[in-house]
Structure 1
Amino acid sequence: MSISMTPHNRKAVMETSPPQQTRYGVFFALLCGVLLFLSFPKFGLGVIAWIAFIPLLMALQNVATIRRAFLLGWVAGLAAYIGIMYWIAYVVVNYGYLPLYLGIAIMILLACYLSLYVALFAAGIVYCRGKVPLYLAAPALWICLEYLKSHLFTGFPWENLGYSQFHNIIFIQMADITGVFGLSFLIILLNVAFFEVLVKRSKESLILAAVVFFLWSGVYAYGILRIHQIDQALKSAPGMDVSLIQGNIDQSIKWNENFQKDTIRIYEELSLRHPSPEGGLIVWPETAVPFNFQHENDLHRRVQAVAEKTKSWLLFGSMSFGTASESTDYFNSAYLLSPRGDIHGKYDKVHLVPYGEYVPLRTVFPFISSLAAGIGDFTEGKGFDPLIMADRKIGVMICYEGILPEAARTYKNAAA
């Protein structure tokens, strides 16, 4: 089902000058970008995602060249990702101690890179016109590019389209079958159906809309059924006593050596005040211990004492290091202490945050290595291996890793 226009619309386009067509195209591309970033936090209006691509499809309907389609897609992507990723500049400036101009430049460069995938999507739409129906080409193109974005250069799956539905609990249940890419596929398909009805208003477009509506209804029916199944399963599932401790340490002082003792004291007091039952689990946040736990000093022994006093397992984040043949590798790690206070396991973060925990492409562009001094330069761990806690297995995902479906799937397959 290829894109076509009514005689009235075709006449209107013929009477529109090229500069006007360009302005309309850019306007609709920007509108698409604005709708996309409104679909994600901090606004989180996920329902907008179901129509967000209609303006871009309208901008592309009169485009004759792949190059122009690419540029319009890039404009849409840039508007979207600057709105979505603006906070990166704040983070790398305030916590990575980079100059403001460099923080803004990093954010814009990342947005420009991510916009390439929207640009390729738009170019692909025009390339496939007349060859593959839009209702097949658009969803297939999008999820292929989204998969590539999620894995290329270690992957950046942040804000994949399906994640815009995080509030829509019923709809997202289908992710246990299709993953987030299935959610993205359906969102694009519904955008295409709306677009076809608006532009063509033909019998074929109405049939497409009806088919998509029934598919969409089936997904919601599955979601309702799945939620009921999960609720029933939880009633008979074995429980586990867990105490989650959050010290709320200001990031601006967290790594200051003068505050290390105060930080450990806060976590000590909270853990002893709200302990889990004996044999339970106490969890502290990522890098809650602001020093290398491998150094056996007084602070090290105070952390061990928390596990001993509460007679509970203690899981906490800390930096660690390992000496290679010519250098020292640093890791963002999670330690598991037994109720006796001994180290029972350690997990090293596998999927590091680009320009947050390591500097990508340093071998290709050596000049960007200077960023490592302000941002951080960690080494990735060996794999998603669960930690053994008596007769249980614990799957640890640190910060950014929580958005990686493959990490959760690996742990689940290992019975964690």
Structure 2
Amino acid sequence: MKLTALLGRILLGALMALSLPPFGLWVLAPLAIGAYLKYSRDASYRRQFTNAFALWVGYFAAGLTWMTDLTVAGWLAAIPVQALIMALPMAFVPSTGLGRAVGLPAALVVGETTRWVIPFGGVPMSSLAMGPIDTYLVDVVRISGPLLLIALIGILAIACEGAISRNFKAVWISISLSIALVALAQVSPRGEIEETIVGSVVQAGGDLGTRAATSSQGDVFRRHLEAMELQDSKSDLIVWSESSVTVNAPLEESRELNAITHLASELDAVIIANFSEIDGNNFRNASVAVNPKNGIGGRYDKVHLVPFGEYIPLRGLVENFADLSLIPREALPGSGPGILDSALGPIGNVISFEVYFPERVRSGIRAGATIITNPTLASSYTNSLVPEQSLASARLRAIESDRWVLQASTTGYSAIVAPDGQVVAESRLRDQAILTEHVELRRGNTWATNLGKLPISFLAFGLLPISHLISIRRRELL
């Protein structure tokens, strides 16, 4: 492969990364993939893999730059791993014809499905699905989650390749299919309003680029209490950010919980507080619903932990060549659905990183959640890249579940998101703030929450080899 062609594909991948928040130039994703398809046709699996690998190296080199705030070495290691996962299925996309049109969307879904699982339980950040968050295309997540939206980007990429190649039949079919999917989303099942309440999210405020291990956790709790004083109206539900309270186990016996219970009673509101519960060399990341008068109604311990953030995979090996002082304790995972019993009924809860995983939100919806709460923490990062992606993920979860999402971040962005994905209230980074809006408790399921990710994942894994059979059959007929 010529060096210029290799560098061109890397650059094309980097341009594709501009489709992600905060840039939001979503059309660059199908355009870049379409251009890649036009100029990377090859019958050799090895060369197709090399071509696709170069494209995704460019994409993840740009799309994962937020990792450099944590570790440059981790960023450099993640790029080829993530590129490998996305490039492998693309190596098997036929080089021409109907098989190519079927195979490309399937390959994108296969790659993204795999990224949600490996390595270390999956790292679905910087997903292509975040790009079209402000377009009508995003409504298709109500049908089959973000994987269908990624498939739709692949369908539009086929249209772009067709336009470049002057294959207008491919353009017409791809655009027609895209319109049909968006139209289907408009008539697909949604939830229904059970009750309207007043909800608030609390942002403690503070500097970006700070770490929990080197920060005063008592100050974080104090800033949450101070932010509560900014409240100028009655709320029924108040959500605090991740790690708003740090205590020794058991948290149920802590004086901080007593203080929050007293505050909940004084305000006559349910408070969702998140505790970092220290237990020797370990800790638990736990959310609790604190009811007025009688204290804890429900507790949820974070299930999907952040690798190299809340625990170190292969710590005994890694500590030989890396400084792990910023992660002195290993988090203990919880189990079960993301749900909190409360005086307001069942409240969905996904903690921080879990908002990127549709199945964690779905677990709460299937357990009866009428609203979703997302305490999160992005203060470790020095810019808006991760806060923007977290907010985009909260908006995706709102649409696919047809629920209001209350996202509370220590330093921003905190937001209140409607079931159609619109942000009705949003904080600024670093500010101390409290946001309050009328929100709905809702019942019912969408197709996405009924079916989950398995049907579209299995379909994609099946369509990829079928695309080859289509291509072989077409060659036999010629």
TM-score interval (norm. to shorter): 0.7 to 0.9
TM-score by length of 1: 0.78
Q: Aligned partners of 2:126 and 2:209: how far apart in 1? A: 27
Which residue of structure 1 aligns with residue 271 of structure 2? 314
Query: Root-mean-square deviation (CA), in Å?
Result: 3.0
One-letter amino acid of the structure 2 residue matched with residue 282 of structure 1: I
Which residue of structure 1 aligns with residue 373 of structure 2? none
Which residue of structure 1 aligns with residue 114 of structure 2? 148
1:379 aligns with 2:338: no
Q: Aligned partners of 1:314 and 1:293: how far apart in 2? A: 20
Contact 1:271 1:282 in 2 (8 A): no
Of 21, 31, 41, the match for 2:21: 41
Which residue of structure 1 aligns with residue 388 of structure 2? none
Contact 1:242 1:276 in 2 (8 A): no
1:83 aligns with 2:49: no
Which residue of structure 2 aligns with residue 334 of structure 1? 287
Deviations 1:307-364 (A, max 9, x none): 2322322211111245xxxx8542111122221262222211111122222223558x
Deviations 1:237-274 (A, max 9, x none): 41122222111133667757994554433322332452
Q: Could you say which structure has the higher strand fraction? A: 2
Q: Aligned partners of 2:256 and 2:47: how far apart in 1? A: 61
1:285 aligns with 2:241: yes
Contact 1:26 1:59 in 2 (8 A): no
Contact 2:49 2:88 in 1 (8 A): yes
1:304 aligns with 2:261: yes
Contact 2:89 2:110 in 1 (8 A): no
Other structure's SS at 1:306 match: helix
Q: Aligned partners of 2:208 and 2:246: how far apart in 1? A: 11
Q: Aligned partners of 1:388 and 1:178: how far apart in 2? A: 28
Distance 1:269 1:42, change over 3 A: closer
Higher alpha-carbon deviation: 187-196 or 294-303: 294-303
Higher alpha-carbon deviation: 299-308 or 108-117: 299-308
Contact 1:193 1:212 in 2 (8 A): yes
Contact 1:264 1:303 in 2 (8 A): no
1:120 aligns with 2:71: no
**1:211-222 equivalent positions in 2, closer than 5 A:** 211-222=173-184
Q: Aligned partners of 2:81 and 2:106: how far apart in 1? A: 21
One-letter amino acid of the structure 1 residue matched with residue 15 of structure 2: L
Which residue of structure 2 aligns with residue 97 of structure 1? none
Of 182, 197, 201, the match for 1:240: 197
Other structure's SS at 2:276 match: strand
One-letter amino acid of the structure 1 residue matched with residue 124 of structure 2: P
Which residue of structure 2 aligns with residue 16 of structure 1? none
Deviations 1:117-166 (A, max 9, x none): 232144223xx447972111211122112111112231222233222211
Q: Aligned partners of 1:303 and 1:249: how far apart in 2? A: 21
Higher alpha-carbon deviation: 261-270 or 72-81: 261-270
TM-score by length of 2: 0.68
Other structure's SS at 2:203 match: coil
Which residue of structure 1 aligns with residue 33 of structure 2? 53
Higher alpha-carbon deviation: 237-246 or 247-256: 247-256
Other structure's SS at 2:200 match: strand
Q: Could you say which structure has the higher helix fraction? A: 1
Which residue of structure 2 aligns with residue 185 of structure 1? 151
Contact 2:286 2:302 in 1 (8 A): yes
Contact 2:12 2:36 in 1 (8 A): yes
Of 206, 213, 220, the match for 2:168: 206
Q: Aligned partners of 1:131 and 1:342: how far apart in 2? A: 63
Q: Aligned partners of 1:368 and 1:174: how far apart in 2? A: 47
Contact 2:108 2:151 in 1 (8 A): yes
Q: Aligned partners of 1:290 and 1:275: how far apart in 2? A: 27
- Aligned-residue sequence identity (percent) comes to 24
Of 350, 373, 383, the match for 2:303: 350
Other structure's SS at 2:306 match: coil
Q: Aligned partners of 2:19 and 2:286: how far apart in 1? A: 33
Distance 1:224 1:87, change over 3 A: same
Q: Aligned partners of 2:186 and 2:255: how far apart in 1? A: 53
Contact 2:297 2:343 in 1 (8 A): no
Pick the structure with greater CA Rg: 1
Q: Aligned partners of 2:96 and 2:321: how far apart in 1? A: 47
One-letter amino acid of the structure 2 residue matched with residue 119 of structure 1: A
- C-alpha deviation, 1:282, in angstroms: 1.9
Which residue of structure 1 aligns with residue 250 of structure 2? 294
Q: Aligned partners of 2:362 and 2:302: how far apart in 1? A: 16
**1:260-275 equivalent positions in 2, closer than 5 A:** 260-274=217-231
Q: Aligned partners of 1:145 and 1:291: how far apart in 2? A: 40
Gaps of 5+ in 1: 1-20, 93-102
Query: Relative contact order (alpha carbons < 8 A, sep ≥ 6): 1 or 2 greater?
Result: 2
Distance 1:368 1:374, change over 3 A: farther
Deviations 1:369-409 (A, max 9, x none): 95544235312211224111125101111111112111121
Distance 1:27 1:54, change over 3 A: farther
Distance 1:399 1:137, change over 3 A: same
Deviations 1:13-54 (A, max 9, x none): xxxxxxxx6145314312321221111123111121121212
